[in-house]
A and B are shown apart, each in its own frame.
Chain A
């Protein structure tokens, strides 16, 4: 392999690691800003000063902030996520099953959205300027400019209120059959698909259009290749890198969407857990959820960058 590629990829991974460290620092610093004493929140107003002092000592709250930060980081790396303030359960146990739920939602969404978005992106680029292209691109602008919760409410209105195909709210707890699972997943997946495929279509379309302006595509046109052959055989293989990059980048939009969608549809995932934790100010839970989300996000955007590096023909030998 080209040593330059290896160096670039390693450099990108290094940047991702440093970013993760800075993110962990920001998350930790933010939770230190909490007005009021954690111990007093935990023990309530009636606690004796001795009890407060004892718990402070037990929770290492008297140590300097950087020591606490180091201890938290090491614990995180070892899988010790601390105890929830709200109900004194280990955070790891609360997160486990819910993380699987969220990942399943994300996987189903990606499986539906990616093929649809690629198809729409490539065909709109092929028929650029046509009525079809204009309808799709206008739709994309509309989807990108409205908040995610509006797409969700619109989906509820159309599919549950007017068409009456699906229930307005879904709970994944009591799923017994495949049909029921489909009904539960349908609405959140439709909403999330709209949110991420808008970006994906836009970027795929741009990548293909970019490839179509290349001289070799003009050559293919001049030698009499059909439009389909021009796109499929000549332009597309060279646009694969940017397209995969676009897919990875758009998948990172799942994150913002998932927070809203899980809340509105009452889906028992990790984002709902985090929003609830914010309402009760359950710091260990918030910290862990935030780190998991940032890790997922960073993985996706780092992956997108590495794919872009690997697919750059200028770096090939």
Chain B
């Protein structure tokens, strides 16, 4: 029977988080939840015109005012969460999985594969992300699957660089040398020896990259090149309602606030992650 003194609380295990991190985590979880069940909560169908007044103020009937056609902004923000969070999450997973797999393999195999891959991805990395997005959208259009793959490809080089740097450090450890001497294959080395030792930092990096992707996606949508009508993510909502800016309409403020609350929270959450998760490599 455990006495109270030996009970493994988060603090004793090194997973303690300060209050800023906890608040940030709450906001992130809130938006994740909204992305999943948001449309069930919305008071009106997001595409329906419910008010004769456009750029209407905040009222008891319309919690966040109405947009340029008199649609309910609250419902549209709830719907937009699905696109912003969903597309970004899919893209960041794509970027990190391909980046980490390539990075670990390059570090373990070394030689010409490492050099060639690093040079090529560094070259891709030196195309500014917004410009790359613009050119690709011009070339292949912007349906949602295209956007996901595009954002994933744009952020793969960064994830590769990060994972490779971590994996190179682990690769020099004695236990990897031992595994190599045992005659283990590359696949085993990568999945069993390297991966478990870089998971924490890679997850933190995934969070930061998620913010970059949300920002780029919103930027593209704001330019009218991201999510296309009738669907709308938060960036498109700002674009649609930019005409209300001179009157300070809530229709343009609310989607902006939604983006800011998500990205700032993710950044704060990563900054305040428990040391044990974030700095495991150091």
Chain A residues within CB distance 8 Å of chain B = 18-19, 22-23, 26-27, 30-35, 141-142, 144-150, 153, 156-157, 160-162, 168, 252, 255-256, 259-260, 263-264, 274-275, 277-279, 281, 283, 286, 290, 293-294, 297-298, 301
Given contacts A23-B123, A259-B223, A150 and B131 within 8 Å (CB-CB): no
Give Cα distance in the complex from A160 to B248, angstroms: 10
B135 in contact with A145 (CB, 8 Å): no
B246 in contact with A160 (CB, 8 Å): yes
B127, B211, B247, B263: the one contacting A294 at CB < 8 Å is: B127
Give Cα distance in the complex from A149 to B235, angstroms: 9
B245 in contact with A149 (CB, 8 Å): no
A147 in contact with B259 (CB, 8 Å): yes
Asked if B5 is at the interface (CB within 8 A of a chain A CB), the reply is no
Give Cα distance in the complex from A222 to B4, angstroms: 49
A146 in contact with B127 (CB, 8 Å): no
Q: Mark B125-144, 1 if CB is under 8 A from A, else 0.
A: 01111111011111111000
B218 in contact with A147 (CB, 8 Å): yes
Q: How far is the CB of B19 from chain A (nearest CB, A)?
A: 15
Given contacts A141-B264, A145-B263, A153-B252, A278 and B138 within 8 Å (CB-CB): yes
> Which residue of the partner chain A has the closest CB to B268?
A141
B127 in contact with A26 (CB, 8 Å): yes
Asked if B224 is at the interface (CB within 8 A of a chain A CB), the reply is yes
Give Cα distance in the complex from A27 to B132, angstroms: 8
B136, B215, B247: the one contacting A30 at CB < 8 Å is: B136
B128, B139, B245, B248: the one contacting A255 at CB < 8 Å is: B128
Given contacts A150-B256, A260-B222, A161 and B248 within 8 Å (CB-CB): yes
> Which residue of the partner chain B has the closest CB to A264?
B242
Most buried by A among B119, B223, B225, B248: B223
B124, B130, B224, B245: the one contacting A256 at CB < 8 Å is: B130
Give Cα distance in the complex from A259 to B135, angstroms: 13
Q: How far is the CB of A53 from chain B (nearest CB, A)?
A: 24
Residues of chain B within 8 A (CB-CB) of A263 are: 222-223
Given contacts A18-B123, A23-B127, A146 and B136 within 8 Å (CB-CB): no
A153 in contact with B256 (CB, 8 Å): yes
B245 in contact with A281 (CB, 8 Å): no
A146 in contact with B260 (CB, 8 Å): yes
A150, A255, A286: the one contacting B260 at CB < 8 Å is: A150
Give Cα distance in the complex from A277 to B224, angstroms: 13
Residues of chain A within 8 A (CB-CB) of B247 are: 161
Given contacts A22-B120, A33-B139, A278-B137, A168 and B246 within 8 Å (CB-CB): yes
Asked if B148 is at the interface (CB within 8 A of a chain A CB), the reply is no
Residues of chain B within 8 A (CB-CB) of A260 are: 219, 222-223
Give Cα distance in the complex from A168 to B246, angstroms: 7
A30 in contact with B135 (CB, 8 Å): yes
Give Cα distance in the complex from A227 to B137, angstroms: 53
Give Cα distance in the complex from A188 to B58, angstroms: 30
Asked if B199 is at the interface (CB within 8 A of a chain A CB), the reply is no
Asked if B170 is at the interface (CB within 8 A of a chain A CB), the reply is no
A153 in contact with B263 (CB, 8 Å): no
B235 in contact with A157 (CB, 8 Å): no
Residues of chain B within 8 A (CB-CB) of A255 are: 128, 130-131
Given contacts A149-B222, A260-B222, A278-B135, 6 further A-B contacts (CB under 8 A): A157-B248, A161-B248, A263-B223, A286-B134, A294-B127, A294-B131
Give Cα distance in the complex from A18 to B122, angstroms: 11
Residues of chain A within 8 A (CB-CB) of B120 are: 22
A148 in contact with B128 (CB, 8 Å): no
Give Cα distance in the complex from A277 to B122, angstroms: 28
Q: How far is the CB of A1 from chain B (nearest CB, A)?
A: 27
11 examples of A-B residue contacts, CB within 8 angstroms = A18-B119, A23-B126, A34-B138, A146-B263, A146-B264, A149-B238, A168-B245, A256-B129, A274-B134, A279-B225, A294-B127
Q: How far is the CB of B91 from chain A (nearest CB, A)?
A: 16
Residues of chain A within 8 A (CB-CB) of B128 are: 252, 255-256, 293-294, 297
Given contacts A33-B139, A141-B268, A298 and B126 within 8 Å (CB-CB): yes
B134 in contact with A145 (CB, 8 Å): no
B245 in contact with A161 (CB, 8 Å): yes
Give Cα distance in the complex from A264 to B259, angstroms: 18
**10 closest pairs, A vs B, by CB?**
A22-B123, A278-B138, A145-B263, A30-B139, A256-B130, A19-B123, A145-B264, A33-B139, A145-B267, A149-B222
